[in-house]
Structure 1
Amino acid sequence: MTRILTGQCRCRAVTYEAADEFAYAVNCHCSNCRRTTGSAFKPLAGIAIEKIKIAAGSENLMVYGDEPDNYLHCGKCGSLLYAVVKNGTYAHVTMGTLVDTPSIRPTHHVFVGSKAEWFEITDDLPQYDESD
């Protein structure tokens, strides 16, 4: 049986559920991810869109962008929960919003060519200047 993971925004006004069936996980260093998170990179996990849903607080969602691809934030605290990508077929879950620990771990770094100059990658994961 598939394990269901819970994720939440900072203020807990929005909760989502995702199957622990992520297809991939990466650390993204692109400038958009840095701006969205306010940190050096965004750990994200990709999952088929039918395997994730908002479980509570949908009235508090703020959707940024147009379909089929957009970003789901909490409208109260602003947390980025996940991005809908690949023409609406996948979600990129912001791993820091997961309450439960997923079985997947980031396997590499992407968009290292535009990473923050003040940040040094110190792990041994493969690095790609753009996406892999």
Structure 2
Amino acid sequence: MLTGCCYCGAVRLEVDDAFGYAFYCHCSRCRRRTGAACAAIGGIEIDLVRITAGREHLLKVGESEDGYRCLCKQCYSPLYDAVREQKFAHVQLGVLDGVPTRRPDHHIFAGSKAAWHPITDALPQFEEFPP
């Protein structure tokens, strides 16, 4: 079991250490959303992510049939996105207190990465989504 929280600590979550996939996303939306060169994301079935404290501070943004984004209402930290018809969660790995067993093993949207950020590891890079 992994625990995590937003920047201000108002929202706490736990997630099973059972990520099915993990990656670094370099798309312009992730850069703008995180303020970083890329987002480190772990994908898992959404019912394996639980809010353990601060549910009243959880803000769902952009709700649709496909998904939504969860942020803290107080500090606006991105916590996770509900994706793939709201069946999976893309958890921001940076909110976790511990180290997940599955770590990012590829880069997506490397074709649109920040020009000032070199990718220096040997992980596979995909211009957009992997095949």
TM-score, scaled to structure 2 = 0.96
Unaligned runs of 5+ in 2: none
SS at match of 1:99: coil
Tell me what 1:26 maps to: 23
- Could you list the structure 1 runs, at least 4 aligned residues long, displaced by more than 4 angstroms after superposition: none
Tell me what 1:66 maps to: 63
* Counterpart Cα distance in 1 of 2:71 and 2:88: 16
Match among 96, 99, 102 for residue 101 of structure 1: 99
Match among 40, 43, 65 for residue 43 of structure 1: 40
Q: C-alpha offsets along residues 66-103 of structure 1, whole Å, 9 cap, x if unaligned?
A: 13301000000010000000010100000000012111
Unaligned runs of 5+ in 1: none
Match among 73, 78, 81 for residue 80 of structure 1: 78
Aligned residues with identical type, % of pairs: 47
SS at match of 1:104: coil
1:119 matched to 2:126? The reply is no
Comparing 59-68 with 46-55, greater Cα deviation is found at 59-68
SS at match of 1:83: strand
Comparing 61-70 with 16-25, greater Cα deviation is found at 61-70
| Amino acid of the structure 1 residue aligned with 2:14 | E
Pairwise CA RMSD: 0.7
Q: C-alpha offsets along residues 86-124 of structure 1, whole Å, 9 cap, x if unaligned?
A: 010100000000012111110000001111111100000
* Counterpart Cα distance in 2 of 1:103 and 1:42: 18
TM-score, scaled to structure 1 = 0.95
SS at match of 1:62: strand
